[in-house]
Amino acid sequence: MKWNILLNKNLLCSENKTDQSEDGRSQYQRDFDRIVFSSAFRRLQDKTQVFPLPESDFVHTRLTHSLEVSCVGRSLGTKAGKFIIDRHKELKGGYENFHFGEIVAAACLAHDIGNPPFGHSGEDAISEYFRSGNGRQYQKKINDEKKWADFTKFEGNAQGFRIITRLQNPNITGGLRLTHATLASFTKYPKESFTAGVKNMKVKESKLYKKFGFFQSEKQLFEETAAACGLIRDDNSFSWRRHPLAFLVEAADDTCYRIMDLEDGFRLGLLPFETTEQLLKPLTGSKPLQGYNGRDENDKIGYLRAKAINNVIEEITETFLDCETEILNGKFDDSLLSIIKSGEPLKVIKDVSVEKIYSYKSVVEREAAGYEVLAGLLDTFITAVNDSAENVNLSWKNKTILKLLPKQFLCSSGKPDDDIYLRLLKITDFVSGMTDSYAVSLFRKIKGISLPGR
């Protein structure tokens, strides 16, 4: 892969090839701004990162997490960009190091935009509904194993790509019309959900095949981006090698959730100060900690967290640059965090978090509730929409349910799609796009558990 092609500034589904807008912003900066002002990004303020939102006013939501990941990503991209431009003389004059930072920052900002309510357990809840719940009855009607895999393996990353390329600005081809460079960097898993028929089993088992990055409905859009950025395509499959900057997006996310979730756990009293301190200190590097002893315990942990992130950023940048040739050749298949100097201390933090933080009672209770809420919402709206589309004599209940469905999740005629794949996809869009609070509130109302105004 070639950097001057990987940094493609052209917009998805657009002939616009200008380097910057009239106000002087680069196309990559415009990507960032378009994401910030999207309604899907705004909804992240009421989507849980780990802990249920009423637990504390300190812990992270998906919104604050995304902003922090974006800041780390900008630092990583800008630092790496300086050395990449020095190594590749053809980039000089057309690109600056901060352009790399802008691309990674924009991709990081959107990295969780497709997450459903209740976090990763929400993804599992949607998949389980179609795989083994009431939704499994629709498999024969779809009769396409690739399309069916989109539902039974529901993936927030693919939903995110659908949101930024189609659902936001739905009347414009290309959605938000981000640059190809940002879209490719956003896509950590550049493949479709269905992997049967891949001849190269080593590729199939690779880390890049652990999840997928786009649904069948958006596969042509990603193909356009992959071609525009010159990504390496795998043989006999609808999949590609990652855009190099996607490794930095992943590293920024992993850095933040491991270190910041640990701090949240400490603030909620799930971990004692001494344990948290011992976990963070190995990440702070060799320089002495100036002014550390004069702080209270909360400030000490905040100080160690800041030092740890700064040190890990340096290590990630160094490792990324060391592996640049292998990455450009599509031969690199590791998480950067797993091979940096601080990889082992970060793994210890992850193990402790799984045991002490992610198994916290309120976290598990929220995950359990998510299965009931999301399955209930999917079943209610899918049944109503399918009955309407198939000319079944609608009950008064289903007529009422259809009135609760926003018009953008129906055809332009105001009726459900004829294609059952699209019908199911749009209801999944509706439910997965809800905030935690709205999902619970709507579920309680349609089930008669609570009434409006009470």
CATH code assigned at 194: 1.10.3210.10
Domain-embedded: residue 345: yes
* In the predicted structure, residue 45 carries a pLDDT above the cut 60: yes
pLDDT, tens only, 151-176 = 999 999 999 999 999 999 988 889 99
pLDDT for the residue numbered 17: 58
How does residue 428 score in pLDDT terms, banded at 50, 70 and 90?
A: very high
How does residue 55 score in pLDDT terms, banded at 50, 70 and 90?
A: low
CB neighbours of residue 391 within 10 Å: 7
Reference 388, options 411, 365, 371; nearest CA is: 411
Domain-embedded: residue 415: no
* In the predicted structure, residue 11 carries a pLDDT above the cut 80: yes
Reference 77, options 327, 321, 333; nearest CA is: 321
**Can you tell me the mean pLDDT for 134-141?**
94
pLDDT for the residue numbered 178: 96
Domain-embedded: residue 161: yes
pTM above 0.75, yes or no: yes
Q: Which amino acid is at 17?
A: K
Domain-embedded: residue 170: yes
* In the predicted structure, residue 52 carries a pLDDT above the cut 80: no
Domain-embedded: residue 367: no
Number of compact structural domains in the chain: 1
Distance of CA 436 to the CA centre of its chain: 16
pLDDT for the residue numbered 198: 45
Concatenating the DSSP letter of every residue in 54-105 gives GG-SSS-BHHHHHHHHHHHHHHHHHHHHHHHHHH-GGGBTTB-HHHHHHHHH
Structural domain span for residue 229: 1-116+154-359
Residues in contact with 181: Cβ distance below 8 Å, sequence separation at least 6, in sequence order: 6, 7, 8, 9, 28, 103, 229, 243, 245
* In the predicted structure, residue 342 carries a pLDDT above the cut 90: yes
* In the predicted structure, residue 20 carries a pLDDT above the cut 60: no
Domain-embedded: residue 92: yes
Distance of CA 103 to the CA centre of its chain: 15
How does residue 201 score in pLDDT terms, banded at 50, 70 and 90?
A: very low
pLDDT, tens only, 291-333 = 888 889 999 999 999 999 999 999 999 999 999 999 999 999 8
Domain-embedded: residue 416: no
Reference 127, options 437, 428, 441; nearest CA is: 428
How does residue 93 score in pLDDT terms, banded at 50, 70 and 90?
A: confident
Angstrom distances, CA of residue 162 to CA of 57, 154, 434: 31, 12, 15
CB neighbours of residue 266 within 10 Å: 23
* In the predicted structure, residue 425 carries a pLDDT above the cut 80: yes
How does residue 32 score in pLDDT terms, banded at 50, 70 and 90?
A: very high
Contact 291, 268 (CB under 8 A): no
Alpha helices in 171-284 (DSSP H): 180-186, 201-204, 219-229, 244-267, 273-280
Let me know how long the chain is. Answer: 454
Q: What percent of the chain has pLDDT over 70?
A: 92
Contact 219, 144 (CB under 8 A): no
- Residues 234 and 243: their CA atoms lie apart, in Å, by 13
Domain-embedded: residue 224: yes
pLDDT for the residue numbered 285: 84
